[in-house]
Amino acid sequence: MAIPVDVQAVERVLRPWLGSMLLSAMPLVGDIADIMREYAPYKQTFAQLKEAVEHVLFTDLSHATGGGMCIVLDDYSTRRLKLKDMQSITDDVMGLVFDSLNPFSANFVRLNDYALHEESLSALRVLYQKYHAFFTEEQFTFLVQMIRKIYPPERYEAWLKEPHSSAAPAEGR
């Protein structure tokens, strides 16, 4: 199963975090897109894919910044990337893979398992948006409560709507 992740999608996810100047000066976007396109569930778990993406992201950024992890964003402000930023960036990139999954039971089981073992707002977002029918109403309510309790509102307010009815949630970020 090839994951249809293109370079533009990876760049769109990384640009707010890393800025256009840095992304244009290094092959990071293409490297990450290649890793994600090579993903196959029979060879690799989501956790292993995340580790591979995180490794390339960290080593490439460390090398490009001389180990300082300071970057210049598109608004010319500077930012020092922290470990928590790296985890959030990796999770946002993993969201591209999760978004491309067809909502059937095998993908639900794998994605739900990943969300239970890894801190992943992207996995929770896709479960919320595409897999509502696989949850009981109590489980779905718990999922929403968990998202609200763990993450700051600015991370989910664009896609987690209030109040939530039994109808399927709207697609998109």
Pair (33, 62) in one structural domain = yes
Q: What pLDDT was estimated at residue 60?
A: 95
Pair (6, 35) in one structural domain = yes
Pair (65, 131) in one structural domain = no
Q: What pLDDT was estimated at residue 2?
A: 64
Pair (66, 108) in one structural domain = no
Pair (110, 66) in one structural domain = no
Pair (81, 96) in one structural domain = yes
Q: Work out how many domains the chain is built from and give that number.
A: 2
Give the separation between CA 162 and CA 141, rounded to whole angstroms.
12
Tell me which of 100, 117, 137 is where a domain ends.
100
Radius of gyration of the chain (CA): 17
DSSP state of 132: G
Tell me which of 100, 124, 156 is where a domain ends.
100
Pair (95, 112) in one structural domain = no
Pair (85, 132) in one structural domain = no
Q: What pLDDT was estimated at residue 164?
A: 47
Q: What pLDDT was estimated at residue 172?
A: 46
Pair (94, 107) in one structural domain = no
**Residue 120 structural domain:** 102-173
Task: Return the C-alpha torsion angle 108, 110, 111, 115, nearest 10.
Answer: 130
pLDDT, tens digit only, all 173 positions of the chain: 567 788 999 999 999 999 999 999 999 999 999 999 888 888 899 999 999 999 999 999 999 999 999 999 999 999 999 999 999 999 999 999 999 999 999 999 999 999 999 999 999 999 999 999 999 999 999 999 999 999 999 999 999 986 544 444 544 44
Q: What pLDDT was estimated at residue 1?
A: 56
Tell me which of 100, 127, 159 is where a domain ends.
100
What one-letter code names the amino acid at 7? Answer: V
Give the separation between CA 36 and CA 9, rounded to whole angstroms.
11
